[in-house]
C-alpha cells in the first residue's frame, strides 16, 4: 500500500492522536482490506483503482453546517461551537484532516461577512482549506436593510427591491473573487402563499431579468448554480420550484449557468437520480447539496435515511463521469453538503456524512457496468438490477478507510475525532453562542 501523503499545512487536530488511533486498528484494517481486495478481484475490480478514485473525491462543507442548526421552533446550541468564520474554517480543517475529502468551505453572505477577506483567505490557506461556491441570501431582511424581501427579492414587483437583491449578489461575487472561489449559488425563496398573489409568467420574467444582470458580472472562470426548491418558505408556489424550471432558466442564461440539486428539495419519492442523469446529459449539472430527508426538506445527514438513493445518485454520477471521459467532455459538478445538525455534534454528523457519501461513491465505482449494459440490452431485468444490488450490498468500508489513511486521515473517523478531545477543548476555549435562530438553505 502507498505511503501516507506528506503534511504541508497547519493541523487543526493533533496528528499523533490520529496516527495512534490508526496504529491500534492497523492489523484489523489490513486484514479487512485484503479480504475486500480478493472479493473484488473475483469480479475483475482492482481495489487500487477504486482507492485512487476515492482519493480524488472532494465535498465542500457549508459554513452554516458547522454550528448547530435548528427548526423554526428552536435551536439548541452546543458548547464549543464556532462563533466566527475563522473558527468555522478551523472546524472544517479538523474534519478534513480526519476525513481527507472536505478541502473547501462554502460561505454564506451576509452570515459570514467580515472586514478583511485577505486575512480569511490566508488563514484558510494555512490549513490547506479553499473556498467553494459563495451563497447569496435574499430570503431574510438584514439589520439596516432599506427594502424588505417579504414579498420577494430577485423577482419582486418593485424594481428598486430587485436592484437591491441584484447588488447583494454582485457583492457576493466580489467577495468570492477575493477568496478564490469560482461559483455563486443562488437559492431563491421567492414565491407565493396564495393563488392570485402573483402571476407565474411575469414573476419568472422578472427573475430572469435580474439573473441576467448577475450572470453578466460573472468572471470568465466562474459558474452560477441555480438551486431549485419545491416549497418553503412559500407554500403555494415557488419561482424556481423544480429542475424543469431550473434547467430552462440555466439554458436561457448561458453556459456559465448550471443547476444545483439539493437532495431535500423535492417532493417525497421523486426519482432524484433520474434528475441527475437528465441534467448531466444536457451539461447542466452544476452542483450538489448532499443531505437526506424522510418527509420534506429535513436537512438530515447524508445517507442516514435512504442510503440506497444516495448510491443510485452516485451510480448516475459515475456513469456520467465515464460517459464524459469517453467523449473528452468536461464533467465537474461541485459536491457540497447542506445539512442542519439539530441534535448531534455538527462535526460528527459531517464525518458520518462524508463516510456515507464516500461509501456511495465507492459502491458506484464497483458496479459491473459492462455486465449491466449487456443485461439491459438483453432485457434481463433481474440480472441488470442485481448488478446494482451486488455493488450496494458490498461492504466497501476498508477501501474508504484506506483512501482516508493514505491522506493522513483516520481509519475510524469517529473514534479518532473523539480521541482528540477537540470539542471539549473548544467548549473551554470558545465563547458560548446565544440560542439564536439557525440557518439552513
Binding region for Mn ion (CB under 5 A): 262, 289, 338
Helix, coil or strand: residue 428: helix
Cell of 431: 465563547
Residues near 338 by beta carbon (within 8 Å), at least 6 away in sequence: 62, 65, 262, 264, 289, 290, 291, 299, 440, 441
Helix, coil or strand: residue 157: coil
Residues near 26 by beta carbon (within 8 Å), at least 6 away in sequence: 411
Smallest separation, CB 150 to Mn ion (Å)? 22
Measured in degrees and rounded to the nearest 5, phi and psi for residue 323 equal -60, -45
Smallest separation, CB 336 to Mn ion (Å)? 8
Smallest separation, CB 260 to Mn ion (Å)? 7
- Which CB sits closer to Mn ion, 135 or 420? 135
The answer to whether 151 and 101 have CB atoms below 8 angstroms apart is no
- Which CB sits closer to Mn ion, 108 or 289? 289
Angle, nearest 10°, between helix axes 346-365 and 47-54? Answer: 140
- Which CB sits closer to Mn ion, 66 or 411? 66
- Which CB sits closer to Mn ion, 228 or 426? 228
CA distances from 331 to 112, 282, 320 (A): 30, 11, 7
Cell of 216: 453578466
Smallest separation, CB 229 to Mn ion (Å)? 8
Smallest separation, CB 227 to Mn ion (Å)? 6
Smallest separation, CB 266 to Mn ion (Å)? 12
Q: Nearest 5°: CA angle at 129, between 133 and 10?
A: 170
The answer to whether 66 and 82 have CB atoms below 8 angstroms apart is yes
- Which CB sits closer to Mn ion, 62 or 358? 62
- Which CB sits closer to Mn ion, 50 or 441? 441
Smallest separation, CB 62 to Mn ion (Å)? 8
CA separation for the pair 167, 312 (Å, rounded): 39
- Which CB sits closer to Mn ion, 92 or 263? 263
- Which CB sits closer to Mn ion, 190 or 262? 262
44: left (phi over 0), alpha (psi -120 to 50) or beta: left
Smallest separation, CB 264 to Mn ion (Å)? 7
Helix, coil or strand: residue 185: strand
Amino acid at each position: 500500500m502507498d505511503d501516507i501523503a506528506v503534511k504541508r499545512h497547519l493541523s487543526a487536530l493533533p496528528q499523533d492522536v490520529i496516527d495512534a488511533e490508526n496504529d491500534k486498528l492497523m492489523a484489523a484494517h489490513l486484514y479487512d482490506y485484503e479480504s475486500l481486495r480478493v472479493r473484488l478481484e473475483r469480479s475483475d475490480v482492482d481495489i487500487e483503482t477504486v482507492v485512487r478514485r476515492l482519493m480524488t473525491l472532494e465535498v465542500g462543507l457549508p459554513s452554516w453546517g458547522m454550528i448547530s442548526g435548528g427548526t423554526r421552533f428552536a435551536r439548541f446550541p452546543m458548547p464549543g461551537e464556532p462563533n466566527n468564520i475563522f473558527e468555522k474554517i478551523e472546524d472544517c480543517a479538523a474534519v478534513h484532516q480526519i476525513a481527507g475529502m472536505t478541502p473547501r468551505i462554502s460561505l454564506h453572505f451576509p452570515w459570514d461577512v467580515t472586514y478583511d477577506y485577505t486575512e480569511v483567505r490566508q488563514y484558510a490557506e494555512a490549513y490547506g482549506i479553499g473556498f467553494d461556491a459563495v451563497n447569496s441570501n435574499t430570503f431574510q431582511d438584514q439589520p439596516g436593510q432599506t427594502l424588505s424581501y417579504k414579498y420577494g427579492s430577485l423577482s419582486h414587483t418593485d424594481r428598486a427591491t430587485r436592484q437591491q437583491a441584484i447588488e447583494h449578489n454582485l457583492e457576493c461575487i466580489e467577495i468570492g473573487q477575493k477568496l478564490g472561489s469560482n461559483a455563486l449559488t443562488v437559492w431563491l425563496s421567492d414565491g407565493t402563499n396564495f393563488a392570485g398573489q402573483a402571476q407565474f409568467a411575469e414573476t419568472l420574467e422578472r427573475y430572469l431579468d435580474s439573473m441576467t444582470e448577475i450572470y453578466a458580472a460573472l468572471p470568465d472562470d466562474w459558474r452560477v448554480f441555480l438551486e431549485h426548491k419545491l416549497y418553503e418558505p412559500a407554500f403555494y408556489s415557488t419561482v424556481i420550484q423544480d429542475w424543469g424550471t431550473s434547467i430552462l432558466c440555466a439554458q436561457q442564461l448561458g453556459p456559465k449557468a448550471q443547476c444545483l440539486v439539493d437532495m431535500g428539495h423535492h417532493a417525497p419519492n421523486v426519482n432524484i437520480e433520474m434528475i441527475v442523469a437528465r441534467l448531466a446529459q444536457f451539461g447542466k449539472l452544476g452542483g450538489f447539496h448532499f443531505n437526506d430527508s424522510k418527509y420534506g426538506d429535513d436537512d438530515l445527514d447524508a445517507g442516514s435515511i435512504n442510503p440506497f438513493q444516495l448510491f443510485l445518485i452516485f451510480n448516475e454520477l459515475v456513469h456520467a463521469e465515464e460517459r464524459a471521459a469517453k467523449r473528452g467532455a468536461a464533467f465537474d459538478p461541485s459536491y457540497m453538503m447542506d445539512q442542519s445538525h439539530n441534535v448531534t455534534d455538527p462535526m460528527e454528523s459531517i464525518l458520518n456524512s462524508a463516510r456515507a457519501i464516500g461509501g456511495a461513491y465507492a459502491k458506484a465505482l464497483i458496479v459491473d457496468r459492462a455486465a449491466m449494459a449487456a443485461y439491459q440490452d438483453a432485457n434481463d431485468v433481474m440480472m441488470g438490477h442485481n448488478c446494482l444490488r451486488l455493488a450496494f450490498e458490498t461492504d466497501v468500508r476498508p477501501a474508504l478507510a484506506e483512501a482516508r489513511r493514505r491522506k493522513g486521515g483516520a481509519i475510524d473517523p469517529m473514534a479518532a475525532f473523539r480521541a482528540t478531545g477537540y470539542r471539549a477543548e473548544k467548549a473551554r476555549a470558545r465563547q458560548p453562542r446565544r440560542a439564536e435562530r439557525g440557518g439552513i438553505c
